[in-house]
Amino acid sequence: MASQIQDRLTTDQDLLLMQEGMMMRKVRTKFWKKLRFFRLQNDGMTVWHARQADDIAKPTFSISDVETIRKGHDSELLRNLMEEFPLEQGFTIVFHGRRPNLDLVANSVEEAQIWMRGLELLVDLVASMDYQEQLDQWVSEWFQRGDRNQDGRMSFREAQRLLLLMNVEMDQDYALRLFQTANVSQSDTLEGEEFVQFYKALTKRTEVEQLFENFSSDGQKLTLLEFVDFLREEQKERDHAPDLALEFIDRYEPSENGRLLHVLSKDGFLRYLCSKDGNIFNPDCLPVYQDMTQPLSHYYINSSHNTYLLRDQLCGQSSVEGYIRALKRGCRCVEVDVWDGPGGEPIVYHGHTLTSRILFKDVVATLAQYAFQLSDYPLILSLENHCTWEQQRTLAQHLTEILGEQLLSTTIDGLLMDKLPSPEQLRGKILVKGKKLNTIEEIEVIDDIDEEEELENNQESELDADPYPELDALLQSESQELTSRNKHIKKVVACPVSCLLICGNVLAQTPSYIPGSSFLSNQASTTILCPDLSALVVYLRTVPFCSFTHSKENYHIYDISSFSESKARHLVKEAGNEFVQHNARQLCRVYPSALRTDSSNYHPQELWNAGCQMVAMNMQTAGSAMDICDGFFRQNGGSGYVLKPEFLCDIQSSFDPERPISIYKAKTLLVQVISGQQLPKVDSTKETSVVDPLVKVELFGVPEDTRQQETSYVENNGFNPYWGQTFCFRVQVPELAILRFVVKDYNWKSRNNFIGQYTLPWTCVKQGYRHISLLSRDGTSLRPASIFVYICMREDLEEDDS
């Protein structure tokens, strides 16, 4: 066990009391509140719970899964129960990924403080572990799991069971030889250091030893020059190799004598390969490394759709937790669907559905608190406004009063709006995206068809679209007659005597249309945009899209149009170059189809290829699409802003993502999938099940670059499988390519089962021998699970791919 945690477990008063255990109330909903006995295990890494202190306990969570601890005042659920439980006695355990929070209420303020302090201490200790401490911790955890009778010793029978837990089916005679070799005391059980040696024998990396010996003259160490040769030739470190060799030896060589002599042992070499410096993700791309002074339209922006939802968009729960989670994933554009609420307070939910409601002012307060915790670059609030005039004034009041100086309400330094500001100029600011009046005389009518319900000229049936065919027919028959510059109406008269159709939005002499209601009468009921709210829209005025020519001739650089995924995909295929030029000039937002009632996702790559900046994702839904999104935005400090390639920032660009021309330098990518380490089980409840792992290498980019290849499967070995298979990819537009590694459990009866994955942009890939730390379906770390690969990129010399 890591010494720091071991020391604190025996000396820290809070941790000692947590190991004794306490009764606390577990709260799931307003109505589900049950007493449970919680206890910190002796390993200091896991918390178990039971109905009573003497009942059979089961694991609740691991400390490594915990992201942070919140006070009761910061819990949306506990605040709703404040009349029943004092907030000071409650606290929330927040986990990495999409795992739901755990809300607990202690019997006293003092007991709540004990658990909060103790958990915060353990989370900090785990986060500060170095490689050796992590290794010690993994060894300790395996020993705890294998020592079934908890007597501090491990018999061979327990060791056999442990092998199955470790996900490996090993020949019994071979396993016995490893056990007897480690059992130097000849006591028929392994203790302490004996188990450490047994674990080392199990995790012996033959492929790494062979690589080491290829560069070592004596097979025992790498001299400084030999290590420089390895870094230069295999790791492609070039001119930095001599300096890096000294730095890495000092950092990873465990022997003090080795560090003094500037040599690297086998253990030191393995430590380097398993470290962040041996990771496939280039560490130079982890901080903010890109130019952040270009106009907003030159950046991809990490964007969320229906941010308030925790599940599906028909019956799912709305919660401020959706905003917190999105912001902690690096999201920089959140969506707020706001409607009239009771008591004059606007509410947020997915209109015309059974999703629950939350107060708009609570959403704004959450944004004020969490907007800039992960990234201080601008946050965009995409406002879908369905409110009446009076409640729009309340919206404006809440935004102004709660956000204060965070809210951008005027142009930067009073400058003319001749170009969009940069992320650097807008640091620490929240921008409202929404409809806006041009002048004081102009009154804009808000149609009940919102931005995500605009009718499309294709065959897709949008569930959220206007349900009234009268409007559909009107749009189709009159859309060709439009010549108006925009959808604003000057000096609108109050009587319903005219019908005006502008760029797909209707202000009509039609029966009144009210959200959630039927046609009621011929009395006009269109909602007028409130000037107070309009004034808060500075750089991001939403406008309907008619055509690229219309946008170029009529719209300003601060105008932004939204597209459904089907409309955007159609434009990419039919007018890719025009879409690229449009997105070089102004911002656009793409949102998922309303047919995705389960809040599933589309793959963002196709839209990124055309330079679409805000490709909104249902962040609450895990899957390959979110893996790509998370992997792509992991770069540049996780700031939520990634600079587009130059050819997507040029308003005269000739680039067409469907037909990329050959002026861009194609490359060849070689990927050798070598081995895997300590892969998790697909079903952890089945002790005897062992995975048959295979690795799929997926490349995403322009259509002709999108390919995938996979290894054969290794039977009954998830602990240290070996593949040694090499794949070749020809990449036409590497600047847009994204690489994804997926490990699956082969299953001939059905689809292969997901084990883990890792996704990253081509521009952040480090060449050479690299480890890839796998992530779960929810994006959380599966350490120590990893795969070992060799990566090589070279200029493509082929003129033809045939």
Instruction: Tell me the torsion sign for CA atoms 208, 210, 214, 217.
Output: positive
Question: For residue 565, what are its two tokens?
Answer: 């995924």
Q: List, in order, residues 6 or more apart from 728 with CB less than 8 Å away.
A: 668, 669, 670, 671
Dihedral Cα 790, 793, 798, 800, nearest 10 deg: 80
Contact (Cβ atoms closer than 8 angstroms) between residue 715 and residue 204: no
Residue with tokens 């092998």: 163
Angle between helices 156-165 and 131-146 (to 10 degrees): 120
Contact (Cβ atoms closer than 8 angstroms) between residue 346 and residue 395: yes
Instruction: Tell me the torsion sign for CA atoms 560, 384, 101, 683.
Output: negative
Distances (CA, A) of 744 to 169, 207, 718: 17, 22, 10
Rounded Cα gap, residues 387 and 393, in angstroms:
9
250-255 LR contacts (CB < 8 Å, sep 24+):
251/275, 251/277, 252/131, 252/277, 254/132
Residue with tokens 């009529």: 554
Instruction: Please confirm, yes or no, whether 49 is among the known catalytic residues.
Output: no
The strand pairing partners of 125, in sequence order, are: none
Task: Fill in the DSSP letter of residue 279.
Answer: B
Q: List, in order, residues 6 or more apart from 668 with CB less than 8 Å away.
A: 728, 729, 730, 731, 793, 794, 795, 796, 798
Q: Which burial class, exposed, middle or buried, applies to 608 when counting CB atoms under 10 A from its CB (0-12, 13-18, 19+)?
A: buried
Secondary element (H or E) of residue 189: strand 189-190
Looking from the CA of 712 toward its CB, the CA atoms found within 13 Å total: 6
The strand pairing partners of 248, in sequence order, are: none
Which residue in 73, 96, 298, 305 is the catalytic one?
Answer: 305
Instruction: Say which amino acid occupies 2.
Output: A
Question: For residue 138, what are its two tokens?
Answer: 């993994």
| 3-class state of residue 523 by DSSP | coil
The strand pairing partners of 60, in sequence order, are: none
Question: For residue 442, what are its two tokens?
Answer: 């102009």
Rounded Cα gap, residues 667 and 653, in angstroms:
21
Instruction: Tell me the torsion sign for CA atoms 605, 606, 612, 615.
Output: negative
Residue with tokens 């004996």: 194
Residue with tokens 């045939």: 802
Instruction: Please confirm, yes or no, whether 350 is among the known catalytic residues.
Output: yes
Instruction: Say which amino acid occupies 85.
Output: F
Rounded Cα gap, residues 761 and 632, in angstroms:
6
Q: Which residues of 99-124 are buried (b: 16+ CB within 10 A; e: fewer)?
A: bebbbbbbeeeebbbbbbbbbebbbe
Q: Which of 514, 537, 529 has the alpha carbon at shortest distance from 382?
A: 537
Rounded Cα gap, residues 780 and 719, in angstroms:
20
Contact (Cβ atoms closer than 8 angstroms) between residue 627 and residue 757: yes
The strand pairing partners of 33, in sequence order, are: 27
Contact (Cβ atoms closer than 8 angstroms) between residue 438 and residue 534: no
Q: Which of 396, 278, 279, 413 has the alpha carbon at shortest distance from 774?
A: 279
Contact (Cβ atoms closer than 8 angstroms) between residue 418 and residue 503: no
Which residue in 49, 350, 386, 603 is the catalytic one?
Answer: 350
Q: Which residues are catalytic?
A: 305, 350
